[in-house]
Amino acid sequence: MSHTEQESAHEALRRHFASRVANQVRNLLDRWRLLNELKWDAASFDEFERANEKLLRQAARFEADMQLRKAMKIEEIIKQIRAASEPASSKQITELAMLINALGETAQRRDDASRPAEKTIPLRKPVYLAIDPDIAEKTSEQMRYFSIDAVVVESPEALLHACSTRLPSCLVVDVDFSNQNAGLDLIEQLQKNRHEPLPVIFVSAQQKTDITTRLRASRAGGVRFFPNPNISQLIRSVDKITHHLPDDPFKVLVVDDSRSQSLYAERALNAAGMITHVINDPLDVLDAIQRFNPEMIVMDMYMPGCTGMELAAVIRQQPEYINLPIIYLSGEEDRKKQLAAMSQGGDDFLTKPVDPHHLVATVQNRGQRARALKNLIVRDSLTGLFNHTHTLERLHQAQAIARELKQPLVFCMVDIDIFKKINDNYGHPVGDKVIGALSLFLKQRLRKTDVIGRYGGEEFALVLPNTREEDALHLLNTIREGFGKLEHSADTGGFNVTFSCGIAGFNGSNDEKMVEQADQALYHAKKNGRNNVQLFVDQE
């Protein structure tokens, strides 16, 4: 075996081991989510501990140093909790949440399209397709390119047997499967004794369906209904169900001069799975916001040195914090004073002593609305990816982190080949579907910490932290090959699309040049015949 072949084999082996560790990280994330949902009951804590022990073994065996360090810290906290006679403290819960969050950022999604067929049971539950056999196999094949394990069932009996053997993540069912309304009858029978209904996407060969049929479908657990759907519609809908990731925990800054009151709020928020940071000196608030980057602030009204209203006014003077939610938590019962405080930049006012469930519900509601508003500002409306401006902001943040931690970083420019011909030949709505398909393809194959943006038109930008140029080259080539096999649909028939990509690495001093360098590499990819990936090479 040549030196080059040995290096290639070593890289393939390294990627295989990395995927094993990433799968165990995802398992630990699931156990953490269940632990918080079940209010830290003993059984779920045992499962969480076992999942971490397995991650420890996998990370040690495959030399995944970063995951091993995190798992060892988690093990240490678990031992502290076991040794204590009291429930986990707010500090321990916060530390665990931060470790789990950091681990989650290392877990990359599987690329099923690049893996050989396996006879083992896949980690994700399958999707059962009970639809017209003429399109079922083609739909199943296309779904596999999106890491969706789609299984075709050919009869009502086969579907019932499949569900009795292994429950699916969702079903795609024709309302008239095998006979008129037979699909609806079948799902009603399947859902009859279930405490929690299985999610179903109903389809119909008819362009128009009556309200009675749609009502039956909704009552039978139907989450979507598509008359005469195309494959891309089904893939997007199935992906929302099968690849749903738990939301990141809310980050809350608690500002209160009373240690006991701040500890009370901290415990309540930590128990709900949130990450908190407490400061007892209100004059430290701006530094704390900058370091902790909270999504909202829970703040006392009366503190030494300044009032909550004065502090809110100072925070609101900073343009970057104008939309940061502020929730007052105070013993003030005078309604006029409460309204005055709200007029000074507050969003909610809770009166002490506050019920912990009331506090958690208020913070969660405010946090969800703040995230939704931020998404409207920073995301592209067609794809849901970051927009041009925010992508560049995230690049600059990633550069600062890479420089501080001495980690590699790459920036990639991805451009759909001959996109104008797609619009000219098939129309702009089909072109939009192609853009949507590529955005979904990228989201499924990149890590949670990777930044994916729509740079403009048919052009995408990727920021890949802690990634070497050669790894990015392999990854983007794998994605390119898989996307090229995907068939897109139009009225005149199916067609395939390719993309080209340019990659630039960060060297610590090319902060302002990375975008231009990736663009130059993309230019060379286009010049070399399109449908390829090129690394930027400095000619100076």
* pLDDT at residue 195 in the model: 80
Q: What pLDDT score was predicted for residue 442? A: 93
pLDDT at 13 over 80: no
User: Looking at 352, 377, 402, which one is the last position of a domain?
Assistant: 377
Report pLDDT for 3. 47
Rounded mean pLDDT of 346-372?
87
- Check which CATH number belongs to the domain holding 81 and give it: 1.20.120
Structure tokens that stand for 268 in this block: 């309540």
Q: Which helix (H) or strand (E) holds 223?
A: strand 222-227
What per-residue string of b and e applies to 378-397 under the rule 16 or more CB within 10 Å gives b? bbbeebebbbeebbbebbee
Which residue bears the tokens 């789990």? 100
Contacts of 62 (CB under 8 A, 6+ apart): 17, 18, 20, 21
Report whether pLDDT(517) > 90: yes
Q: Say whether both 51 and 136 belong to one domain.
A: no
Q: Any idea which residue has 């804590």 for tokens?
A: 45
Q: Is residue 110 part of a domain?
A: no
CA–CA gap between residue 299 and residue 252 (Å, rounded): 10
Lowest mean pLDDT among 106-115, 142-151, 285-294: 106-115
E strand intervals along 360-505: 409-416, 451-456, 459-465, 487-490, 493-496, 499-505
How far apart, in Å, are the Cα atoms of 53 and each of 29, 64, 68, 79, 404? 13, 14, 10, 12, 31
User: Is 51 in contact with 23 (CB distance < 8 Å)?
Assistant: no
Asked whether residue 326 falls in the same domain as residue 435, the answer is no
Q: What is the mean pLDDT of residues 259-287?
A: 89
- Nearest-angstrom CA–CA distance, 394 and 392: 5
Q: pLDDT at position 395, please?
A: 96
The string of DSSP letters for 179-210 reads: STTHHHHHHHHHHTT-SSPPPEEEEESSS---
Query: Where does a domain end: 331, 352, 377?
Result: 377
Identify whether residues 508 and 427 lie together within a single domain. Answer: yes
Verify that 463 and 443 share a domain, yes or no: yes
Query: How far apart are alpha carbons 445 and 44 in whole angstroms?
Result: 30
Is there a single domain that holds both residue 526 and residue 413?
Answer: yes
Domain end, chosen from 242, 265, 286, is at 242
Looking at the structure, do residues 57 and 84 belong to the same domain, yes or no? yes
pLDDT range class, residue 277, cuts 50, 70, 90: very high
Range of the domain at 160: 120-242
Judge whether 214 lies within some domain.
yes
3-state helix, strand, coil in the chain (%, to 5): 55, 15, 30
Clarify whether residues 396 and 511 are in a common domain.
Answer: yes
Predicted confidence at residue 540, as pLDDT, reads 58
Note whether 87 and 147 are same-domain residues.
no
Cα distance between residue 277 and residue 251, in whole Å: 8
Highest mean pLDDT among 42-56, 77-91, 134-148: 42-56
Token pair recorded at residue 212 = 């009675």
Q: What is the pLDDT of residue 243?
A: 66
Kindly tell me the burial class for residue 536, based on how many C-beta atoms sit within 10 Å of its own C-beta (0-12, 13-18, 19 or more).
Answer: buried
Query: What's the mean pLDDT when you consider all of the chain?
Result: 85
Q: Does 50 share its domain with 178? A: no
Q: How far apart are CA 87 and CA 75, in angstroms?
A: 16
What three-state secondary structure class fits 394?
A: helix
d(CA 360, CA 340) in angstroms, rounded, equals 24
What is the average pLDDT across 135-148? 83
pTM flag (> 0.85): no
Q: Is residue 265 part of a domain?
A: yes
CA dist 138 and 458 (Å) reads 26
Q: What is the pLDDT averaged over residues 130-156?
A: 86
Q: Identify whether 49 is part of a domain.
A: yes
More confident residue, 105 or 509: 509
Burial of 116 (0-12, 13-18, 19+ CB in 10 A): exposed
Residue 7 pLDDT more than 80?
A: no
So what's the pLDDT on residue 109?
45
Give the lowest-confidence range in 185-199, 235-249, 457-471: 235-249
Claim to verify: residue 133 and residue 172 sit in the same structural domain: yes
Per the domain annotation, does 192 fall within a domain? yes
Q: Using N-to-C axis directions, what is the helix angle for 3-37 and 42-61, rounded to 10°?
A: 170
Number of structural domains the chain divides into: 4
DSSP H/E element including 402: helix 388-405
Amino acid identity of 471?
Answer: D
Nearest-angstrom CA–CA distance, 282 and 265: 16
CATH of residue 348's domain is 3.40.50.2300
Least confident of 100-109, 337-346, 406-415: 100-109
Across the range 496-525, mean pLDDT stands at: 95
**440-459 mean pLDDT:** 90
Comparing 23-37, 118-132, 355-369, which segment has the lowest mean pLDDT?
A: 118-132
> 431, 455, 445: which is closest to 480 by C-alpha?
445
Distance CA 416, CA 434 (A): 9
Strands (E), 392-481: 409-416, 451-456, 459-465
Q: Is residue 28 over pLDDT 90? A: no
pLDDT given for residue 305 in this prediction: 82
* Residue 174 within a domain: yes
Token pair, residue 259, equals 């240690």
pLDDT band at 451 (very low <50, low <70, confident <90, very high): very high
Which residues fall within 8 angstroms of residue 120, CB to CB, at 6 or more apart?
A: none
Residue 412 within any structural domain of the chain: yes
Give which of 198, 242, 195 is closest to 220, Cα–Cα.
Answer: 198
Token reading at 498: 């390719």
261 and 233 inside one domain: no
Phi, psi for residue 116 in degrees, rounded to 5 = -65, 155
For the segment 489-495, the average pLDDT, to the nearest whole number, is 84
Residue with tokens 């938590």: 329
Section 119-136 average pLDDT? 72
Give the C-alpha separation, 128 to 167, whole Å.
9
How many Cα atoms are found within 13 Å in the side-chain-facing hemisphere of 538?
A: 8
On whether residue 489 sits in a domain, the answer given is yes
360 and 432 inside one domain: no
How, if at all, do strands 296-299 and 326-330 pair?
parallel
- The encoded tokens of residue 8 equal 């290639």
Residues acting as catalytic residues: 458
List pLDDT tens digits, range 92-123: 887 888 888 778 766 644 443 333 333 333 44
Share of the chain above pLDDT 70, in %: 90
Q: How far apart are CA 535 and CA 477, in angstroms?
A: 12
Residue 419 is predicted with a pLDDT of 95
